[in-house]
Amino acid sequence: MRDGTIETATWNPATGCDRVSPGCDNCYAMAFARRLQAMGSPAYTRDGDPRTSGPGFALTLHPGRLAVPSRWRAPRLVFTGSMTDLFHPGVPEDFLADVLEAMARAPQHTYFALTKRPARMAAVLARLAPEPLPHVWWGVTIESNAQAGRADRLRETPAAVRFLSLQPLLGPLPDLDLTGLDWVYAGGESGPHARPMAAEWVRPVRDRCVAAGIPFLFKQWGGRTRNAGGRLLDGRTWDEMPGGWTPGGRHAMVSS
């Protein structure tokens, strides 16, 4: 893993989103959607609300993509919803049921998905999948101490693996409770407007993970490009993951 990539494939049964907190301000997916629209991609023709979204980034469902994982034979670590938030209020619950069914039909893969809307995730999965699929990991993004409570909603979510994405990490997390979590990864922001990350914000989280035996992965320091600051934290890389996976350990095959 040289470039901060964890997954070996992405799968987007939906695309588009709306900002909900400061971590969204420089959203990579929104910028990518703008480029894809300019390139004529048919999946990114609809513009989102300019106050919360952007060109090509209106929430859009893609039911034709539900069968994609079943076509992949070799096991992959699949970032599900890399261009959306599956628990956006505009994603119907019956469509989420279809996504879960698609995951169940292709158990050779391991899926992981993130949300900044953990209350909806906890409520929907309690109804649709109270017995969690063993090959699906559910996580939440926490960028600063103001969002630390998202971890509480994650603990209420039925999941085989519960994880945190602390990226972009924008401040210290003194109130973050790691109880009941199975994986944590952290990283700085990248892009032309990247906000810097301080070592004193990430070290305490790393140390608490080590003490608790929680796998910890450090993705990047970030900067103008995601590789600008490298990946070393205190002189070494941190690439721990659950389930015996190694980050980016298989040939990357991407479906945007």
pLDDT for residue 205 is more than 70: yes
Is residue 170 within 8 A of residue 22, CB to CB? The reply is yes
- Does 252 score more than 50 pLDDT? no
Please tell me the distance from the alpha carbon of residue 76 to that of residue 23, in angstroms, as a whole number: 28
Considering 3-12, 201-210, 245-254, the range whose residues carry the highest mean pLDDT is: 201-210
Hey, which residues does 185 pair with through a beta bridge?
Answer: 165, 217
Confidence of residue 3 (pLDDT cuts 50, 70, 90): low
pLDDT-above-70 percentage for the chain = 95
Q: What is the pLDDT of residue 254?
A: 41
The percent of residues in the chain predicted with pLDDT above 90, rounded, is 91
How far apart (Å, rounded) are the C-alpha atoms in residues 248 and 103? Answer: 20
Rounded Cα distance between 144 and 131, Å, is 31
Q: What is the pLDDT of residue 227?
A: 85
pLDDT of residue 203 exceeding 50: yes
Q: What is the pTM of this model?
A: 0.94
Q: How far is CA 124 from CA 48, 88, 128, 180, 242, in A?
A: 24, 11, 6, 20, 24
CB 159 within 8 A of CB 140: no
State yes or no: pLDDT of 48 exceeds 80.
Answer: yes
- Exposure letters 187-201 (e unless 16+ CB within 10 A, then b): bbbbbeebbebeeeb
| Contact by Cβ (8 Å): 243, 1 | no
- Cα–Cα distance list, 209 to 51, 114, 160 (Å): 37, 20, 19
Token pair listed for 125: 């999965």
What average pLDDT score do residues 48-74 get? 98
* Strand residue runs (E) in the chain: 9-11, 14-15, 60-61, 77-80, 110-115, 136-141, 161-166, 183-186, 216-218
Q: What is the pLDDT of residues 91-134, one digit of tens each?
A: 999 999 999 999 999 999 999 999 999 999 999 999 999 999 99
Q: Which of 94, 132, 90, 127 is nearest to 113 (CA)?
A: 132
